[in-house]
Chain A
Amino acid sequence: MKNLRFLPLIPLILGLALLQFLVNRQAIPSYLFPAPYQVWEVLMTDGQIWAALRDTSLNACLGFLLTLVAGACLGTGLASSRWIEKMFYPYAVFFQTVPIIAIAPLLVIWFGYGQPTVIASTFIVSVFPMIAATLDGIRSTDQNLLDLFRLYRATRLQRLLKLQLPFALPSILTGARIASGLAVIGAIVGEFVGGGGLGGIVDESLAQQRVDRVFAAVTLAAGLGWVFFAVLNGLSRVLLRNWHASQRG
């Protein structure tokens, strides 16, 4: 059973082998689709791309942290009353629907080049799932437990900290997992306009028709997203280990 976790590697290896074979046989021209080996070579020899990964990771992390904190706070704020939810939720949806590509150039005007724009883009793209998940989690708090807290005359703050937020935790963590993938996308888009990082490498490499380098950067970006996801998965497992019998041991 344990070996099942390696199963996803099989399609990966087969796919890469097939791609390498097709490029070698010149069935696919390498200027349209690079051979896996070319990409590998770039990853092994290009120091810039790793420095870019470091920058992107840092900015995506900072933007994502902002999303976690602000998303949870905004979600909690919305959950505090039906009135507030009705009044402001439509504007929270704005973050979900805003075409980031279209407003990205404006971010540069608002926040300036470099890090601030990248963080802002990361935040805008990733914050909505966090808000919605927090709101849903708090809203779904068990009515009997709410009654119990009422019976013992708990304050609003006690109710929030001791009941509603912990109760919303599984939902919040699911939101955070979705947000983590979006955060990497947001960072890359931000770097397209703000400069630097893997987004900058992609921009530069496209101008030089370096498809291999584009793919190397994209591979690292995807890897970064995967790491974000895996870390949050691990974190969920640790935080929720007592919740479900299935996740014990």
Chain B
Amino acid sequence: MKVISFLLFFLQSTAFASDLELALNWKPEPEFGGFYLANLKGLDAKKGIQLKIVPGGAGQPVAQMLANGKVPLGIVSADEVLMARDRGADLVAIFAVYQTSPVGLMTHEEKGFKSLEDFFKSDSTLAIQKGMPAAVFMERKYGYGKVKVVPYQGGVGGFIRDKNFAQQCFVTSEPLLAKKQGAKPKTFLVSESGFDPYVEVVAAKGEFVRKNPKLIQDLVEIFQAGWAAYQEDFEETNKVMNGLNPAMTLEVFNESAKVQKPFVQPVGSKIGTMKLERWQKFADQLFEMKLISKKAKAQEAFVSKF
């Protein structure tokens, strides 16, 4: 029996030897829709690439896994790329899902906050991942004052239970869930206060990118095609993703895909491209916030010649 199972394992691993793993930093949700569609419709296979999408979860250290060579491709945020580079790990971003950051704070409408500034004058409880650059930025800009900062657990349970509760969110996701459970969420985008990084990028090791220019070119084209198609028609892909992540209803999947459309759609360029000014501004902000120890040359942190 042992021999047979070993042989099976061996065959399997050789059969998938050409698989290219893409590690997600969260469960399958519309924020990854274009990647799943490309895989489903065989857009990758057409270019002779077999993508294998690996879902993640809370606390998945994708940046470290990339740096350590455990996966070739992974979804991280631009600040993770810059911080990893600052610590000596050569990560490079090749594709950005969101042109505008959907990161925001979700509050209860009943509290009547008019702006983030307004919110930070309150005595609310704010669940946020401490140390996250957006959190550091807001703390520096507004000061926490009487706001009680508590650890962010994921989900919207705390928000539903407590009217005085606010939390970090992707405006494309948590507010929809909260609404479903009867709350009236009001969200504020962090980007509006001047902090707007590329929050969801595909990254790889610099060495891998430089050695395989053709492969990277192909990948970017696959992702662009996948996302363009997903923007047009997400329902079929959502059904498949819903099967992988039944915690969210199909209805919320579809709503979320609708809400995120403008965040994905760039003005005057192709889907997924990134601009140097934004990268550089963001890198300078990180340096100012002391999250990276030296000034970064942003042009080295991403490739976007496509």
Do A's and B's CB atoms come within 8 Å in the complex? yes
B46 in contact (CB, < 8 A): no
Interchain nearest-CB distance for A23 vs B (Å): 10
> What is the interface of chain A mostly: helix, strand, loop, or mixed?
helix
When the two chains form their complex, are residues A193 and B59 in contact, meaning their CB atoms are under 8 A apart?
no
A132 in contact (CB, < 8 A): no
A155 in contact (CB, < 8 A): no
A74 in contact (CB, < 8 A): no
Chain B residue nearest to A105 in the complex (CB): B153
Q: Cα distance A113–B148 when bound, in Å?
A: 9
When the two chains form their complex, are residues A203 and B151 in contact, meaning their CB atoms are under 8 A apart?
yes
Residues of A with C-beta under 8 A to B149: 195
When the two chains form their complex, are residues A209 and B63 in contact, meaning their CB atoms are under 8 A apart?
yes
When the two chains form their complex, are residues B151 and A209 in contact, meaning their CB atoms are under 8 A apart?
no
When the two chains form their complex, are residues A203 and B130 in contact, meaning their CB atoms are under 8 A apart?
yes
When the two chains form their complex, are residues A205 and B131 in contact, meaning their CB atoms are under 8 A apart?
yes
List the interface of chain B (C-beta within 8 A of A).
Answer: 59, 61, 63-64, 67-68, 80, 83-84, 87-89, 125, 129-133, 148-151, 153, 157-158, 161, 291
- Within 8 Å by CB of A195, from B64, B67, B151, B291, lies B151
When the two chains form their complex, are residues B151 and A192 in contact, meaning their CB atoms are under 8 A apart?
yes
When the two chains form their complex, are residues A203 and B131 in contact, meaning their CB atoms are under 8 A apart?
yes
Known contacts A113-B125, A200-B151, A203-B151; is-contact A209 B87 (Cβ 8 Å) = yes
Known contacts A30-B87, A204-B130, A207-B129; is-contact A193 B151 (Cβ 8 Å) = yes
Known contacts A203-B130, A204-B130, A209-B63; is-contact A31 B84 (Cβ 8 Å) = yes
Q: List 18 A-B contacts (CB under 8 A).
A: A29-B67, A29-B89, A31-B64, A31-B84, A32-B64, A108-B158, A113-B125, A113-B150, A192-B151, A193-B151, A193-B153, A194-B150, A194-B151, A203-B131, A208-B133, A208-B291, A209-B63, A209-B80
> What 3 A-B pairs are tightest by C-beta distance, nearest first?
A204-B131, A31-B87, A204-B130
Q: Cα distance A197–B23 when bound, in Å?
A: 31
A206-228 CB contacts (< 8 Å) to partner B:
206-211
Known contacts A31-B87, A195-B151; is-contact A200 B130 (Cβ 8 Å) = yes
Residues of B with C-beta under 8 A to A195: 130, 149-151
A28-50 CB contacts (< 8 Å) to partner B:
29-32
Q: Cα distance A207–B68 when bound, in Å?
A: 17
